[in-house]
């Protein structure tokens, strides 16, 4: 029988060396997905994922059993992402963004070769559209669309009212709709 | 306001149905909310269009899937050394029999008394107990035979207990060391297998990447071939449809 998250945490706290590894393997995909979509950069997302698990491990004794582990670890990951996003300055522009600014990417877009590349193009547009959203809307959309959380769970993770979650979702989708339409027209 | 902005505004609903619409879109609406939205959609084109547009946005968002999970190396230390010590002590106590626990408690009490320097003497005035912290090293005061006599039997038994205690503590230390060594050995074995797994995962990922690149290259080659083929067909068609040009060219 598969152990629950709480049982694994108990074992980790009791000093079982490999127990936490089980939790990491169970949640790494979701956390990496969340950080990648929040930050938009692979390397930074990897670092943020590691930071999330390290922080969770160090603060494991503070985890209260009545809350869900998923909500707790999502909250840690989002805090880490938000800190990283706040510390970004206009001077730390990624190579992709530089290419985008200089018009390199648009030239490449016109050379539409093969369905694989088309798929990559759509992914890039979605990525760009999401990155353009304010972080508070982006995190709600990511948790709903990609992590499959219920609105009540998102409200729990973010510590905000349910109605605020739905309003952010609505505004975010409206904004994305405009952005994706513009991008579609640009292709 | 340009035409595009106006178009956007027209598409955005002004009804106060946003929350219900969002709940409906994600199948999280209550039956009442669903009934309300269904009824509203039959008479509000803007909301109906908005819902369709959101569904389209959702489909587009789903195109971004992450297949490639990086190999994470989360290196963790122990949550707290105090916790570990406590755990070890707890485990040790749980496997120790009751008689050994009782003996241990007595020995600890005796050790404590010995450390703080306790003298038990019986004199003409009765039994006296003297406690002297860290007596060791101080000159021994001469004992007045009139005041009382030392209980040599008690001293001997304390010495014996001290020796037993020393042996017991040494044994505990040895046990603990052995246990720690075993733990370290187990951890090393675990780390080795983890490293092996990571290496295999890296290799597998590398192989997949190579395959993907090869596939992509193949697709590109096919596409280039297709394009070149099209170009040739175009040329041929244009040549067939323009015989006069060819004849003119031939004349040159």
Identify the pLDDT of residue B192.
Answer: 86
A60 in reach of chain B (CB within 8 A): yes
Question: Which among A8, A178, A179 is the top mutation candidate for probing chain B, defined by the most B β-carbons within 10 Å of its own β-carbon?
Answer: A178
The DSSP symbol for B30 reads: -
Q: How far is CA A139 from CA A38, A176, B67, B122, in A?
A: 7, 13, 20, 81
Q: Which residues of B45-74 are buried (b: 16+ CB within 10 A; e: fewer)?
A: eebeebbebbeebbebbeebeeeeebebeb
Residues B72-125: pLDDT tens digits?
Answer: 665 555 554 445 555 555 555 655 666 677 777 777 777 776 666 666 555 566
- Relative to beta strand B149-150, strand B126-131 is unpaired
Q: Residue A49 and residue B216: Cβ atoms within 8 Å?
A: no
Size of interface A-B (CB pairs under 8 A): 113
Q: Report domain extents, chain B.
A: 7-61, 81-180
Same CATH fold assignment for domains A1-91 and A93-187: no
Least confident of A32-46, A70-84, B24-38, B79-93: B79-93
Q: Which residues of A touch B76 (CB under 8 A)?
A: 20, 53-54, 57
Cβ separation of B84 and A15 shorter than 8 Å?
Answer: yes
Asked if A151 and B28 come within 8 Å (Cβ–Cβ), the reply is yes
Task: For residue range B43-55, list pLDDT tens digits in order.
Answer: 999 999 999 999 9
Reply yes or no on domain A93-187 having CATH 3.40.1410.10: no
Task: Please list every residue in chain A whose beta carbon sits closer than 8 Å to the beta carbon of residue B187.
Answer: 17
Mean pLDDT of A15-41: 91
Please check whether residue B148 is in contact with residue B123, taking contact to mean a CB–CB distance below 8 angstroms.
yes
Per-residue pLDDT, B117: 63
Q: How far apart are the CA of A7 and the nearest CA of chain B, in angstroms?
A: 16
With CB atoms and an 8 Å threshold, state whether B63 touches A54: no
A103 touches chain B (CB under 8 A): no
- For chain A, where are the alpha helices, taking DSSP H only? 5-13, 19-39, 42-58, 69-87, 95-102, 104-110, 114-131, 135-145, 151-158, 162-186
B92 CB within 8 Å of a chain A CB:
no
Mean of the pLDDT values across residues A58-85? Answer: 90
Residue A95: which residues within 8 A CB-CB, separation 6 or more? none
What predicted TM-score, i.e. pTM, was given to this entire model?
Answer: 0.54
| Least confident among A83-92, A125-134, B88-97 | B88-97
Q: Cβ of A61 under 8 Å from any chain B Cβ?
A: yes
Cα B144–Cα B145–Cα B151 angle in degrees, nearest 5: 105
Say whether A141 and B18 touch across the interface (CB within 8 A). Answer: no
For position B57, what pLDDT does the model report?
94
Contact assignment for A145 to B12 by CB distance below 8 Å: no
Check whether B140 has a pLDDT greater than 60: no
Tell me the per-residue pLDDT of B176-209, one tens digit each, with 9 for 90 and over.
Answer: 888 888 888 888 888 888 888 888 888 888 888 8
**Residue in B with minimal Cα distance to A15:** B84
CB contact (8 A) between residue B220 and residue A114: yes
Domain at A1-91, CATH class: mainly alpha
What band does B248 get if pLDDT is binned at 50, 70 and 90?
very low
Is pLDDT above 50 for B2? no
Residues of B in contact with A178 (CB under 8 A): 8
Average pLDDT over residues A55-72: 87
Q: Where are the domains of chain A?
A: 1-91, 93-187
- pLDDT value of position B239: 46
Alpha carbons B18 and A170: distance in angstroms, whole number: 7
* Beta carbons of B54 and A177 less than 8 Å apart: yes
pLDDT of residue B206: 86
Which of A21, A29, A169 faces B69 most closely, judged by CB atoms? A29
Which of A15, A54, A180 has the CB atom closest to B57's CB atom?
Answer: A180
Instruction: Give residue B11's pLDDT band: very low, low, confident or very high (50, 70, 90).
Output: very low
Q: Is A17 an interface residue toward B (CB < 8 Å)? A: yes
Lowest mean pLDDT among A5-19, A124-138, B105-119, B210-224: B105-119
């Amino acid at each position: 029988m598969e152990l629950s998250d709480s049982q694994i945490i108990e074992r980790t706290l009791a000093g079982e060396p490999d127990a936490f590894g089980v939790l990491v393997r169970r949640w790494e995909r979701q956390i990496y997905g969340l950080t990648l979509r929040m930050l938009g950069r692979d390397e930074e997302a990897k670092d943020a994922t590691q930071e999330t698990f390290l922080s969770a491990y160090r603060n494991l004794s503070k985890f209260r059993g009545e809350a869900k582990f998923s909500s707790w670890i999502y909250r840690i990951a989002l805090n880490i992402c938000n800190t990283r996003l706040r510390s970004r300055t206009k001077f730390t522009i990624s190579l992709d963004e530089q290419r985008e600014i200089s018009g390199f990417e648009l030239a490449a877009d016109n050379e539409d070769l093969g369905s694989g590349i088309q798929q990559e193009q759509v992914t890039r547009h979605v990525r760009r559209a999401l990155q353009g959203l304010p972080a508070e809307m982006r995190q709600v959309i990511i948790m709903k669309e990609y992590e499959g959380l219920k609105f009540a769970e998102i409200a729990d993770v973010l510590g905000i009212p349910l109605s605020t979650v739905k309003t952010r979702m609505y505004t975010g989708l409206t904004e994305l709709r405009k952005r994706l339409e513009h991008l579609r027209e640009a292709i | 306001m340009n035409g595009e902005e106006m178009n956007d505004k027209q598409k955005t609903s002004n009804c106060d149905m946003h929350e219900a619409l969002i709940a409906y879109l994600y199948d999280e609406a209550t039956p009442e909310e669903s009934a309300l939205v269904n009824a509203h959609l039959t008479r509000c084109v803007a909301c109906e269009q908005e819902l369709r547009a959101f569904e389209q946005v959702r489909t587009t968002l789903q195109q971004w899937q992450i297949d490639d999970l990086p190999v994470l190396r989360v290196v963790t230390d122990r949550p707290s050394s105090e916790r570990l010590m406590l755990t070890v002590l707890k485990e040790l106590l749980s496997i120790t029999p009751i008689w050994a626990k009782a003996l241990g408690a007595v020995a600890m009490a005796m050790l404590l008394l010995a450390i703080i320097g306790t003298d038990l003497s019986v004199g003409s005035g009765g039994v006296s107990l003297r406690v002297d912290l860290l007596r060791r090293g101080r000159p021994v005061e001469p004992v007045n035979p009139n005041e009382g006599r030392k209980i040599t039997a008690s001293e001997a038994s304390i010495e014996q207990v001290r020796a037993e205690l020393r042996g017991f503590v040494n044994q505990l230390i040895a046990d603990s060391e052995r246990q720690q060594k075993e733990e370290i050995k187990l951890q090393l074995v675990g780390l080795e297998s983890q490293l092996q797994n990571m290496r295999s995962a890296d290799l597998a990922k590398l192989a997949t990447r190579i395959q993907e690149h090869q596939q992509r290259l193949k697709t590109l080659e096919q596409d280039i071939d297709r394009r070149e083929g099209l170009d040739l067909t175009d040329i041929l068609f244009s040549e067939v449809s323009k015989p006069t040009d060819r004849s003119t060219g031939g004349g040159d």
